[in-house]
Structure 1
Amino acid sequence: MNGHFIKTWMDKGVVESTNDLARQVVVNGLGDCPVLVSAERQTRGRGRGNHTWWSDQGSLTFTIGIDPIAHGLRTEHEPRVALATAVALIDALAHWIPRETIRLRWPNDVEVKGLKIAGILPERVETPHGGRLLIGIGINVSTQLDAAPLEIRRMATSLMQQTSGHVSTPADVRDRLLARVIAHFETSISRLAEDDPGLAARWDQLDALRDRPIRLDLGPQILQGIGRGIDPSGALRLGTDQGIRLLYGGQVLRDDLS
C-alpha cells in the first residue's frame, strides 16, 4: 500500500456499502483524507442510477475518499474522475491480463473481451470541512459468478477467469491489486488536475464503444448512433444523422453490445 498517499485505511470483511462507510468517515472527520475503506464483500453496494453492485467473498470492493482541492481538482474536473479512475484500473489489471484485451466502457465500467470486470461509482459529499469526492470501486477477483443473478453471469468476468486461475492465492492477489490501483489512481488524479492531454488521449484510445452502434437511454428519450470516441471533456461522442453529439450522461443499453 502506498502509505504516502492514503492517510486513513479501514479494511473490513463484509459491509453494506464501502461508499456509505467512507461517507461517515469524511463527514464526521474520523480520519484524514485520502481515506480508503476496503471490504471483501458488500451487501448493499450501489452502481450508477438505481443499479446495485453484486459481490461475493471473492470480490475486491473499496472506496477512496479525497479532498479535491488538496489534489488540485476543480469543479470541471469532477465529471472526468470516473474516466481517470478507469485508466488507473486498466493499468493495474494489465499486470495480470493482456493490456490489449482491457477496455473502458463509458462512463464507468472496465471490461475484458467485452465482459465487465470492474465498476466505478463517484459521488460528491458535502462535509463541515468542505466538499469531498468518494470513488467507489468494485473488481471481480475470484468472484464466483455461478452464484450471481443470470443478468450478471451473462455480462461479467473475473480476474481468475481471465488468467485461468494461474495466479497466486486470491487474498494475495487482492492485496497486490489494491496496492497497484492506489498507485495508478494517484498518478491519474495528478494528471487530471494538470489537464494532461495524454490522459484524455488514453481514455479515448481505450473506448470500448468506438465505431459501435449505440442506444443511449436518456430517460425521456433514447438516442441511437455510432460511438465516435470519448471527448477530452469526458463526454461520449455519438455520431447521429444530425452530426456528432456530446453526451455527458445516460445509460448505454447493454442489449446492443452482444
Structure 2
Amino acid sequence: MSDWFPELAQQEIERQAGFAQVDVFDELPSTSDHALANLAAYSQHLPALVVARRQTKGRGRGSRSWFAGDGALTFTVMLGTKDTPIPTHHWPRCSLIAGVAMCQALEELAQSDAFQLKWPNDVYLAGRKVCGILVEKRDAAEPVLCIGIGVNVNNSLENAPDDVQQKAIALTDVTGEQHFLPEILLVFLTRFQTLCQQNVDSLEGLLPYWQTHCLLTGRSVETRQAEQIITGECRGIDASGALLVQTSAGQRSIVSGEIVRW
C-alpha cells in the first residue's frame, strides 16, 4: 500500500463503509474502465472500490475526458442490488445523490460555502468545476451500479493554462492546504450511504439543499437530448431529479441529456 493511501485507511473504509474489496493503484488509465473490465470478478465481492493516485484516460459523460494528475482523488464505486436501498429502476437518482454527497463532504472538510451543484451531478467551487461524476449501470451476475468520480484536491491548477483555470479549480487552490485523500473518500462514502437511505422513495429530502446550492437556478440554459434542444430559465430540480426549465411554451422537466450552454 502506498504512503498516500495507508493500509489503515483502507481498513477504515472497509470497516466504516462496509466495503468487501478496496483496490488501490498508483496509476490507471481509468478507474471506471478498470472496474468494468474486471466486473465479473468484482461482482463476487461487492461492494467494491477502485482508487488510483493518477488517472491518464479518465472518462466523463459522452466523449469527454478527465485527466487527473498527482494529488487528485479518482475512484470508482461498484454496488450490487443488496448494497443500496435505492431500487434498480431508480438508480439514475444515485447520480444526483452522489453529487450532493460529494458537495456536502467537500463543504464540510473545507469549511467553505463556495460550493455549488450543476445538474445532474457536477460540483463547482468558486464558479469552477472541482468534481465530475459518471454513473453507469452494467449487468454481471446481477446489475451493478458503477459510480466513477474525479475530484481536484491537491493537484493545484494555479499554474495551468488560462483556459483551464477559467473552467476548473482544485480544493487546495482555495484552502491553501494539502488534504488527506482517504479522509475525503471516506466522508463521501458514508454520506452517500446515508443520503441513499434517506431518499429511497424520492429526492424530496434533497430539494432544500439543492435549491441553495444550484449553480443554474435563474440562469438561461440550453439542454440537448438526442436531437432535441430545449432553451429556457432553470428553475432547479423536482423530487424525481429532473431539471426544471421554464420555456416560452411552459415548464419542461428534463430527465436526461446534457446542458450544452448556460
Q: TM-score, normalised by structure 2?
A: 0.87
Verify the 8 A CA contact 1:19 1:136 in the aligned structure 2.
yes
Q: Relative to structure 1, is the Cα distance of residues 220 and 197 closer, same or farther in structure 2, using a 3 angstrom cutoff?
A: closer
Please give the alpha-carbon distance, in whole angstroms, between the structure 2 residues aligned to 1:30 and 1:231: 33
Deviation larger for 95-104 or 74-83: 95-104
Contact 1:204 1:231 in 2 (8 A): no
CA distance in 2, matches of 1:186, 1:232: 19
Matched residue type, 1:224: T
Once the two structures are superposed, what CA deviation does each residue of 1:77-130 show, in whole Å capped at 9, x if it has no partner? 211111100111011101233453111100120001211000100000100x21
Which of residues 126, 132, 154 is equivalent to 1:113?
126
Whether the 8 Å contact between 1:84 and 1:203 is mirrored in structure 2 is no
Q: Which moved more, 1:102-111 or 1:201-210?
A: 201-210
3-state DSSP of counterpart to 2:196: helix
- What secondary structure sits across from 2:92 in the alignment? helix
1:48 corresponds to which letter in structure 2? Answer: R
1:95 paired to 2:125: no
Report the TM-score, using the length of structure 1 for normalisation: 0.88
SS for the counterpart of 1:141 is coil
Task: Find the counterpart in structure 2 of residue 135 from structure 1.
Answer: 147
- Displacement after TM superposition at 1:40 (Å): 1.4
Is the Cα–Cα contact under 8 Å of residues 217 and 253 in structure 1 kept in the other structure? Answer: yes
Secondary structure, counterpart of 2:91 in structure 1: helix
Distance across 2 between alignment mates of 1:197 and 1:174: 31
Is the 1:58–1:142 contact (alpha carbons within 8 Å) kept by the matching residues of 2? yes
8 A contact 1:36–1:62 mirrored in 2: yes
Residues 15 and 42 in structure 1, CA contact (< 8 A), matched pair in contact too: yes
What is the distance in 1 between the residues matched to 2:89 and 2:211?
18
Deviates more, 1:61-70 or 1:144-153: 144-153
**For structure 1, which runs of at least 5 residues remain unmatched after alignment?**
none
- Whether the 8 Å contact between 1:140 and 1:159 is mirrored in structure 2 is yes
1:178 matched to 2:185? The reply is yes
| Secondary structure, counterpart of 1:249 in structure 2 | coil
**Is 231-240 or 196-205 further displaced after alignment?**
196-205
**Deviation of 1:229 (Å):** 0.7
* Corresponding position: 1:247 with 2:254: yes
How has the CA–CA distance of structure 1 residues 71 and 87 changed in structure 2, closer, same or farther, with 3 Å as cutoff?
Answer: same
Deviations 1:14-69 (A, max 9, x none): 10111122224432346511111011111111000111112111210001100134
User: Are 1:23 and 2:39 counterparts?
Assistant: no
Matched, 1:13 2:34: no
Identity of aligned residues (%): 33
Distance of aligned partners of 1:240 and 1:96 in 2 relative to their CA distance in 1, 3 Å threshold: same
**How many residues are paired up?**
249
Q: Which runs of 5+ in 2 are unaligned?
A: 1-11
- Does residue 68 (structure 1) correspond to residue 75 (structure 2)? The answer is no
Q: Which residue of 2 aligns with 1:223?
A: 230
Give the Cα–Cα distance (whole angstroms) in 2 for the partners of residues 29 and 116 of structure 1: 30
Aligned residues: CA RMSD: 2.1
**What residue identity is the alignment partner of 2:191?**
H
Distance 1:234 1:149 in 2: 35
- Give 3-state SS (helix, strand or coil) of 1:239's partner: strand
Q: Give the superposition deviation at 1:227.
A: 0.3
Tell me whether 1:145 sits opposite 2:145 in the alignment.
no
